[in-house]
Amino acid sequence: MEMLPSFSEDDYSFLIESSYYLDTENNPSQIQPAIGESYIHVGELALIEKNLIKLASDQRNRINENTYELLLNLKKQKDVIQNHFALNTFSPYVNLFFDVANTAREENYSDIEFLEHLKKDITGDQFKKEIQQKRKAISKNKRSLLRYIDSLFEYRSRLLVLRIDFSYQKDAGGFFTTSDGERIDLIFGAKNKDLLEKWSIEVREQRKQLIKNLKKKYKKDLVGYVWKLEYGADKAFHYHMIFFLDESHHRQDVKIAESIGEMWKHEIAQGKGIYWNCNAKKKHFEKNGWIATGKIKHDDHELRKNLNHMASYLTKPDYFVKLTLSDGARAFGKGGKPQKIKAGRPRN
């Protein structure tokens, strides 16, 4: 049988990076990235996919249940995972796995019947098309994003790149209280989807207000921006954003990123916002050779490569788990492409 396409180790590393959340419970005065349930569950999503590919290529006449004990155990985690990612869709592999698990529960399948139905569905032509379409969409978003970043450097030869993560201060016990006083149980998100959808409207308006404020403050010096909205029970709603300023006018990237974070915390999120200033953590990224913030020149190929890697982080995890809102609202966006400089006019 033809090998089914799957994720690469690079894809998986992006997924793991996306599973961290901003923690304030252990030390309210200091925000730190932390590992929680999201980290565990995204690992389970990857395991489901790897084992389904193994099942699809199994040439034996009879499936050995012991070989796929992990898949049978992960079937029991279905409701937990879907509760955690209450507003998300998954990769074609995981969606198929959950669909067959639902049918198995309704029809009271034995373990071997469950595995046989999985193999039948996963080796069908329709499923292969779904995988190709999903991967094509992710690749298209990535190419569009990288072209956009290239256009920013064509417009300005030196950019000040800011990377900031924005989130919300949760209540104790996995709850969040919205601005209108509604208390949402994030742990059992599937039971609170209507409240989460309602909260998402406010979250999106706050992102729009933040960008509006920054455009007013920096005017044309805000050359571009990229944003990505995600959701998980331990992370709640949170944004990953990259801002591009004209470096000829703005050079203190750490302080500027901090000021934007404080704007989010106090003005936009009304005191309930938290943020992570990635520009202040250059030493951490320097150890791994992945500095992608601060001053970047158009001809600095190493930093440009790092920047593209960081930007790809905003699109790649969508293959595994993607925020999907009922009103069709976007979970990813970027600024408009800057106007081309007229011939003869030098870039800064």
pLDDT digits (tens, 9 = 90+) for 80-117: 999 999 999 999 999 999 999 999 999 999 999 999 99
Question: Model pTM?
Answer: 0.89
Q: Residue 25 pLDDT > 70, yes or no?
A: no
Q: Using one digit for the tens of pLDDT, what is the confidence trace for 147-195?
A: 999 999 999 999 999 999 999 998 888 889 988 889 999 988 888 899 9
Percentage of residues in the chain with pLDDT exceeding 70?
A: 87
Give the helix/strand (H/E) hosting 240.
strand 236-246
Candidate from 1-10, 180-189, 337-346 with smallest mean pLDDT: 1-10
Candidate from 8-17, 99-108, 184-193, 241-250 with smallest mean pLDDT: 8-17
Residue 262's pLDDT is 97
Q: Residue 22 pLDDT > 90, yes or no?
A: no
What residues contact residue 66 under an 8 Å CB cut-off, 6+ apart? none
- Kind of pairing, strands 175-177 and 273-277? unpaired
Residue 317's pLDDT is 78
Measure the CA–CA gap between 348 and 342, rounded to whole angstroms.
13
In the chain, what is the greatest distance between 2 CA atoms, to the nearest angstrom?
A: 73
Q: Residue 1 pLDDT > 80, yes or no?
A: no
∠ CA(249), CA(255), CA(261), 5° rounding? 115
Q: Residue 132 pLDDT > 90, yes or no?
A: no
Q: Residue 308 pLDDT > 60, yes or no?
A: yes
264-277 average pLDDT score: 94
How many structural domains compose the chain?
1
Phi-psi region of 294 (alpha: psi -120 to 50; beta: other; left: phi over 0): left
- Name the residue with higher pLDDT: 207 or 342: 207
Q: Name the β-bridge partners of 176.
A: 184
Provide the token pair at 253.
Answer: 């990237």
Residue 344's pLDDT is 44
Instruction: Write out 112-175 in H/E/C secondary structure.
Output: HHHHHHHHHHHCCHHHHHHHHHHHHHHHHHHHHHHHHHHHHHHHCCEEEEEEEEEEECCECCCE
Residue 29's pLDDT is 56
Residue 289's pLDDT is 66
**pLDDT class of 7 with cuts at 50, 70, 90:** low
Q: 166 — phi, psi (to 5°)?
A: -120, 135
**pLDDT class of 345 with cuts at 50, 70, 90:** very low
Residue 286's pLDDT is 67
CA neighbor of 242 nearest in space, from 151, 314, 143, 339: 314
**pLDDT class of 346 with cuts at 50, 70, 90:** very low
Q: Name the β-bridge partners of 23.
A: 32
Residue range(s) defining the domain that contains residue 287: 1-348
139-149 average pLDDT score: 94
- What is the chain's mean pLDDT, rounded? 88
∠ CA(215), CA(300), CA(277), 5° rounding? 45
281-309 average pLDDT score: 86
